[in-house]
Amino acid sequence: MKFASLFRIISGLVSGMVLSGAATSAFAQAKDYPTRPIRLIVPAAPGGTTDGLARIFGGRLTEMYGQQVVVDNRASQSGVVAGEVTAEAAPDGYTLFLPYHQHTINAALLPKLPYHPVNDFTPITQLTAAGLILVVHPDTPVKNFKEFLAWTKSQGGKLNFGSAGIGSGGHLAGELFNQLTGAKAQHIPYKGTGPATAGLLGKEYHYNFMGLLAGSRLAKEGRLRALGVTSGKRSEGLPDIPTIAEQGLPGFEVVGWYGVMAPKNLPKPILTKLHADLVKILKEPQVEKIIFNQGATGVGNSPEEFRQYLLADMEKWQKVVRASGAKAY
């Protein structure tokens, strides 16, 4: 036998032994996982929906694993700091990340991100999805979405819409509406949801794509008028409010999401374990009730489905932001 052939055979055997050993080690690691506390990085300050969701899932994982899941709040730069800390961490299952829709939007608004929002992470599962609600002041001369659509088209650039800030879901929903209808409404960014809501109640601008809970509550109180939801199907908590798509604007869909990710190259056995346990928590009646009361729907898709969803979300908002000319401060 020639030396070269013998060398290839030996190399193949050694490689196979290495791969087999690595696989065995990975499965052993998953079997024992976790053996120490887990850090759950959250791109938001304590309090609020994002932090609350992290503490619900972190608390349940703590109970399941017998190891503390520590919520690490990193509220700065629209979640970029939290993303960067996660992307640079070891892919061992001891650093997890709970991003929301701003994570993919950042790719459009901040072209110099220190990481790729999908390729530099391991998507585990999408936790929730929730649309927005289109609301106007009751004094606005429209009673339904059909009238609203005709009104916005007839007013040229005279109308304006408000949002919680540049790059927020409400902002991009307004830009998408402009692009799909030819409306030329101007965006007025506020510094947060509270000021934006007060602005609409005070008739400082004409309409807002607002969070479902706040918008529907104000509509029920008669302080605002609800015209439609931005999700692909009607909200389970607001079945009487039709979607914007079904009222004459097909293709219009804006959905906010929360999910769990880890650093890139998370070992598959650990990924499989985390995915199964997170989906199990999602299906718990108490957790389902909390998510429902937030105006959202539980998802629990596979890691690959979540990955494809993230890539599609990135592409969608890059097109919208590029066409609108929107820029982050």
> Is the residue at 5 inside a domain?
no
Q: What is the pLDDT of residues 50-61, one digit of tens each?
A: 999 999 999 999
CA angle 131, 132, 137 (to 5 degrees): 160
Judged against a pLDDT cut of 70, whether residue 12 lies above it is answered with no
Say how far apart CA 213 and CA 27 lie, in whole Å. Answer: 43
Which domain covers residue 182, as residue numbers?
131-247
Q: Are residues 123 and 152 in the same domain?
A: no
Of the residues 193, 219, 247, the one at which a domain ends: 247
Q: Are residues 141 and 174 in the same domain?
A: yes
Q: Are residues 238 and 288 in the same domain?
A: no
Lowest-pLDDT range of 1-15, 151-165, 312-326: 1-15
Judged against a pLDDT cut of 80, whether residue 21 lies above it is answered with no
> Is the residue at 18 inside a domain?
no
Alpha-helical regions (H) of 243-300:
268-282, 285-293
Question: Phi/psi of residue 235, each to 5°?
Answer: -70, 135
Q: Are residues 228 and 301 in the same domain?
A: no
> Is the residue at 4 inside a domain?
no
Q: Are 90 and 38 in contact (CB under 8 A)?
A: no
Q: Are 197 and 276 in contact (CB under 8 A)?
A: no
Q: Are residues 204 and 234 in the same domain?
A: yes
Q: What is the pLDDT of residues 227-267, one digit of tens each?
A: 999 999 998 888 889 999 999 999 999 999 999 999 999 99
Q: Are residues 70 and 110 in the same domain?
A: yes
- β-bridge partners, 280: none
- pLDDT recorded at residue 162: 97
**C-alpha atoms less than 13 angstroms from C-alpha of 329 in its C-beta half-sphere:** 8
pLDDT band at 157 (very low <50, low <70, confident <90, very high): confident
User: Helix 303-324 and helix 102-109: axis angle, to 10°?
Assistant: 40
Q: What is the pTM of this model?
A: 0.86
Q: Which of the pair, 15 or 123, is modelled with greater confidence?
A: 123
Say how far apart CA 147 and CA 90 lie, in whole Å. Answer: 54
> Is the residue at 329 inside a domain?
no
Q: What is the dihedral of CA 313, 319, 324, 329, to 10 degrees?
A: 60
Judged against a pLDDT cut of 50, whether residue 186 lies above it is answered with yes
> Is the residue at 200 inside a domain?
yes
Q: Are residues 56 and 117 in the same domain?
A: yes
CA distances from 36 to 39, 124, 167, 217, 277 (A): 10, 20, 37, 43, 17
Q: Are residues 199 and 299 in the same domain?
A: no
- pLDDT recorded at residue 5: 53
- pLDDT recorded at residue 31: 78
Of the residues 201, 216, 247, the one at which a domain ends: 247
- The DSSP 8-state label assigned to residue 291 in this structure reads H
Judged against a pLDDT cut of 50, whether residue 19 lies above it is answered with no
Q: What is the mean pLDDT of residues 292-308?
A: 95
> Is the residue at 146 inside a domain?
yes
Say how far apart CA 159 and CA 167 lie, in whole Å. Answer: 20
- pLDDT recorded at residue 78: 82
Q: Are residues 45 and 143 in the same domain?
A: no
- pLDDT recorded at residue 52: 93
Could you give the 3-state DSSP secondary structure of residue 186?
Answer: strand
The CATH code of the domain that includes 157 is 3.40.190.10
- β-bridge partners, 163: 189
Could you give the 3-state DSSP secondary structure of residue 229?
Answer: strand
Q: Are 79 and 313 in contact (CB under 8 A)?
A: no
Could you give the 3-state DSSP secondary structure of residue 259?
Answer: strand
- CA nearest neighbour of 98 among 118, 82, 116, 119: 82
Q: Are residues 169 and 185 in the same domain?
A: yes
Judged against a pLDDT cut of 70, whether residue 147 lies above it is answered with yes
Average pLDDT for the chain: 90
> Is the residue at 17 inside a domain?
no
Q: What is the pLDDT of residues 200-220, one digit of tens each?
A: 999 999 999 999 888 999 999
The CATH code of the domain that includes 70 is 3.40.190.150
- pLDDT recorded at residue 3: 45
Q: Are residues 226 and 297 in the same domain?
A: no
> Is the residue at 1 inside a domain?
no
- E strand map for the chain: 38-42, 69-73, 95-97, 121-136, 160-163, 186-189, 207-211, 225-229, 255-263, 297-298
- pLDDT recorded at residue 236: 84
Q: What is the pLDDT of residues 98-127, one digit of tens each?
A: 999 999 999 988 878 999 999 999 999 999
What is the tally of structural domains in the chain?
A: 2
Of the residues 225, 247, 269, the one at which a domain ends: 247
pLDDT band at 65 (very low <50, low <70, confident <90, very high): very high
Q: What is the pLDDT of residues 26-40, one digit of tens each?
A: 555 667 899 999 999
Q: Are residues 153 and 302 in the same domain?
A: no
